[in-house]
A and B are shown apart, each in its own frame.
Chain A
Amino acid sequence: MKPKRVILLSPNPYSLYTLATLVLLTRAGTEVAGIGFRRLMNPSRVLFEGRRDGARLIKKVCRKLLWRRLADGGSARNSLSAFLAESSIQRESVPALCRRNGIPIRYCYDFNDADFVAWVKASSAQAIVFTGGGLLRQPLLDATPKGVLNCHMGILPRYRGMDLPEWALLCGDADSTGCCVHLMDSGVDTGPILMNHFVPPRTGDTVSRLRGRIEYQMPSVLVSATVGYLEDAIALRPQSPEDGKQFFIMSPALREVVEYRLSRRTISTAQTSR
């Protein structure tokens, strides 16, 4: 059997999601041929994400990079931090782990830069595993024989785009929350599906707790789908554009409705269990 060899793409050197994915891939016997990082101090990235996310960008950066430990503190078994602890993964920066294990790393402003694409091609990896870092263009999508795998926080093909746990709950589709591993193509979450993993809301969940529980599952789901795909054990399920809709960032008013619905769900579940 050919050795499983992948390149990992990371949104920043401190990504817990990348760290967890890297360790799990290694434990599953997959060779990580290199990791590409997007530079944090990157004007075009800040501009793009600022235009896309507006004020939410500041909140996102604070939550992910500055006070993640505090934010995760109140929700055990509910976050990537808890996942790392339970999987005996030492919390450190990804480049530090790579240096210790001799994994090549490369920083870039944009994953679509010609230099970076050439580096990926030269690595002779079978596939790219994407853990975040912006839009990917066709040359990078075609840089490896088996394409780019992504774990998407929504059930495909129905829910594409952003804020998908919230949208599924608003659409009354509470059993369609979870994550999905798919191959990336030039569309928004329209590539062939490898694996859907359902994480329905539980009694007492808020939106952020539900998101935390999905995040908790994402590294394992991504790695098991990657390994299965590289071993040709998982068949691809193509999507067509009309199978789903693209959802956008949810407005605060609708977000409040979703929180309210979740709280009502809590009450009704509690009543049923009596």
Chain B
Amino acid sequence: MRALAVGSRVEIPEDASFPAMQRPQYKNISLAHLQSLRWSLYGGAVAPNEAGMWVEAALRFCELNVWRLDRRMRGKWGAAAAPATVATAALLLEGHLVYSDPRLLNTVLKIRKSRLFRSVRRTHATEGIAALAAAVADVSDECVQRYSQP
């Protein structure tokens, strides 16, 4: 993510595939698809428009009744809600870095306030997802700072 933030090239895994769905709907996405979608943003594995539609779908899901995001994420992901929330925030932040769309950063800032996101560092302290949450927090702060610069 940091590499994306500074514009460095990122090697993507060969097995990264894109979810084959006709209509982008966040409620139909799996964790594996979420991960593939993130890779696609790094490597341009899919047409920018198509990836953008998926990011937009994730944005709308998160923004709809954002004050009840925890409940909606638990409804969609069940026990994996916390890691999925962090992965979704990472997807949106990477989308912001690729498309320069401030709406995506805005949603990331809201997701960061959710209990699920905040709980990850405690409940998954030794796992990579906690590091990803920390990276999302750091990079999103940097992005906000960048908007303040002339």
Which of A254, A261, A264 gathers most chain B CB within 10 Å?
A: A254
Q: Does B70 contact A (CB under 8 A)?
A: no
How far is the CB of A172 from the nearest CB of chain B, in Å?
10
Q: Are B103 and A253 in contact (CB under 8 A)?
A: no
Q: Which of B3-11, B25-33, B61-69, B126-134 contacts A (4 or more CB under 8 A)?
A: B61-69
Q: How far is the CA of A167 from the CA of B147 in the complex (A)?
A: 12
Count how many chain A residues have C-beta atoms less than 8 Å from C-beta atoms of the other chain.
19
Which A158-198 residues have C-beta < 8 A from chain B?
167, 170-171
Main secondary structure of the interface of B (DSSP, over half): helix
A residues less than 8 Å from B110 (CB atoms): 251
Chain B interface residue bracket vs A: 10 to 19
**Contacts between chains A and B (CB distance < 8 A), count:** 41
Which B64-80 residues have C-beta < 8 A from chain A?
65-68
Q: Does A54 contact B (CB under 8 A)?
A: yes
Chain A window 237-274, contacts with chain B (Cβ cutoff 8 Å), 1 for yes, 0 for no: 00000000101111101100100110010000000000
How far is the CB of A254 from the nearest CB of chain B, in Å?
6
Main secondary structure of the interface of A (DSSP, over half): helix
Can you list 23 residue pairs at the A/B interface with Cβ under 8 Å?
A50-B67, A51-B65, A51-B67, A51-B68, A52-B67, A54-B67, A170-B102, A170-B147, A245-B101, A247-B103, A248-B63, A248-B106, A250-B106, A251-B106, A251-B109, A251-B110, A253-B144, A254-B102, A254-B106, A254-B144, A254-B147, A257-B144, A257-B147
